[in-house]
Amino acid sequence: MRRLLSGNEAIARGAYEAGVTIGTGYPGTPSTEILENLARYSPEVYCEWSPNEKVAFEVAAGASLAGARSIVTMKHVGLNVAADPLMTLSYISVEGGFVACVADDPGMHSSQNEQDTRNYARFARVPLFEPADSQEAKDLLMLALSVSEEFKTPAILRTTTRVSHSRSLVELGEREQAKKEIGFVKNPPRFVPIPVWGRPMRQRVEERLKGLQALSEKSPANRIEWRSKGLGIITSSIAYQYAREVWPEASVLKLGFSYPFPDALIREFAQGVDRLLVVEELDPFIEEHVKALGISCQGRDFVPGIMELSVDRLLQSRRLMDGGEATRKEEDPFRELLPPRPPVLCPGCPHRGVFYALSREDVVVTGDIGCYSLGAFPPLDRMDSILCMGAGVSMAHGMEKAGEKRKVVGVVGDSTFFHSGITGLLDIVYNKGHSTIIVLDNRTTAMTGHQDHPGTGRTIGGEPTVAVSIEDIGRACGINRVRSIDPYQLDNAREAIKEELAALEPSLIVSRAPCPLRERRRVGAMRTILAEECRACELCLSLGCPAIEGVDGVMKINQTLCAGCGLCEQICPAGAIVSREGV
């Protein structure tokens, strides 16, 4: 039976059919739906959202050492967090098949950087698989598990946004039953990488790599498609689909089992064509290796290595290769007529109250990744730096210790607090800092689609569980000044922030109100502006609420968008904004 599946759905299906019994991860676009779909196969597959990618990786690794087939999911920056266990798991090896499913985001559609996960495979000396469509996403996940088990190595399945989120037909199969008995077998020389045992492990990694390369040479996942011998293209992942469309006449060496490189196959292909081009997204991962083999090829000469590839961009590459000039794509004729629309916090977002309150203080605000990163845009303009998850806390401490004269406020989301904010908070207390940390707790992991986390009191399957208290963790870290605020009560929020900024010791403010989008209900009664009372001072626009419109000096509230948070009513000096219920 065939079914139309996204790449992420197909990976989940492949894990199910391959007999995976443990799936872990941390949400991050474009990888999130893998685990959400795998969780639907409960109870045959146990799934969990872990506090961060490192923990998720280690849980799946532990399951593998006990003999279970397991996968862990994350986006590309998440693998940075999990790089520590990846590097050593490569040494101590696995028992049940283990695959890290990592989704790259070329073009940074929802990420703070572009990075190419393929480099991690070479760095850790583990096999790499790259699907080009949903069927391959399923097939290569199953192959990766098989190779992982045969060679006792962790493996990486790398997708990109287009593979993860596009849909194509997938042939469904039956679920395999686990072949291994669950039970960890004590073997310190294999599983304990202290130097005396770690050095032989290092040797075994190199020997394993040779075996993996031999397998890569003959794997059907790497195949030559002979057509015209005038041009040969080496490619992988979604770039294969684009290359086939732009150069339909060219011969293609498609890599699905991309690392270790199938050197003999590459040489055979190169010898069979007159001209060789490497088409790949992001880093020149393949191109550099082909050149290192002493094979002349082109790649970055014509194919851009920054931002997402597309058929249009490769058509430009083809024009350049054929001796033409790059042509400028015809602009949308209506583009200049459209008003600029910077990304903004949703109507009714509880974070808006905190950022508005901070905008009234002369402070530096350090933050990180999440919905609250939108606080960096005007008119709120109250996020001064973003580095990575958890850095909002740690960088506040660093600025303070550097001697920043203004008070520094670190902002972090609730899911991110559990991900990597706690250790930063501990560092502030331990090293006698006095930064003010604000946890923007909207009771969910909002930006990736409302996943649960240790503070929500629900598991990935929706079962009740312990709801970890952020305030209790703050006190356990040694923070004496811990308080909770309602961000919709603007005067109280401003007063609380002002008091904590004045304190000569570290403080923790938990701004708590649920995400209205997750709750699927308005915060309160919708507001309206009384035209006869409005002074057109435009102070209400400083909230950056998409529901408030100002046209030719006339303020209005869009009733379709208004979530009824009431913040605008609280800041209107003329009393012109009122509840519709009172009109």
Mapped onto helix, strand or coil, the DSSP state of residue 424 is: helix
Q: Which residues have C-beta within 8 Å of that of residue 222, sequence separation ≥ 6? A: 216, 253, 254, 255, 256, 257, 258, 262, 265
386/390 Cα distance (integer angstroms): 10
User: Please, which contacts does 375-382 make with residues 24 or more away whose CB atoms are closer than 8 Å?
Assistant: 375/345, 375/351, 375/411, 377/342, 377/343, 377/344, 377/544, 378/342, 378/544, 379/541, 379/542, 379/543, 379/544, 380/345, 380/352, 380/355, 380/356, 380/542, 380/543, 380/544, 382/355, 382/356, 382/358
Any known ligand binding at 562? yes
Q: What is the pLDDT of residue 381?
A: 93
The pTM assigned to this predicted structure is 0.94
pLDDT digits (tens, 9 = 90+) for 376-430: 999 999 999 999 999 999 999 999 999 999 999 999 999 999 999 999 999 999 9
Phi, psi of 144 (to 5 degrees): -60, -40
Tell me which H or E stretch contains 158.
Answer: strand 155-160
> 339 burial class (0-12, 13-18, 19+ CB within 10 angstroms)?
exposed
The token pair at 32 is: 């999130």
Which of 19, 348, 286 has the alpha carbon at shortest distance from 158? 286
**Taking Cα atoms as reference points, which of 41, 39, 8, 23 lies closest to residue 174?**
41
CB 108 within 8 A of CB 114: yes
- The model's pLDDT over 73-116, given as tens digits with 9 standing for 90+, comes to 999 999 999 999 999 999 999 999 999 999 999 999 989 999 99
Distance CA 345, CA 567 (A): 13
Determine whether the annotation assigns residue 477 to a binding site. Answer: no
Mark the ranges of the chain whose per-residue pLDDT is less than 70: 328-333, 582-583
Check whether 515 is labelled as a binding-site residue.
no
Q: In whole numbers, what is the pLDDT of the chain averaged over residues? A: 95
CA gap 557, 547 in Å, rounded? 5
SS (H, E, C) 309-359: CCHHHHHHHHHHHCCCCCCCCCCCCCHHHCCCCCCCCCCCCCHHHHHHHHC
Q: For residue 371, which phi and psi values (nearest 5 degrees)?
A: -55, -35
Q: List the beta bridge partners of residue 365.
A: 409
For residue 523, what pLDDT is reported?
94
Could you read off the pLDDT of 275-299 as tens digits, one per residue? 999 999 999 999 999 999 999 999 9
537 among annotated binding-site residues = yes
Domains by residue range for the chain, with CATH: 1-215 (3.40.50.970), 220-320 (3.40.50.920), 348-510 (3.40.50.970), 525-577 (3.30.70.20)
The pairing of beta strand 98-104 with beta strand 155-160: parallel
Cα-Cα end-to-end distance for the chain: 59
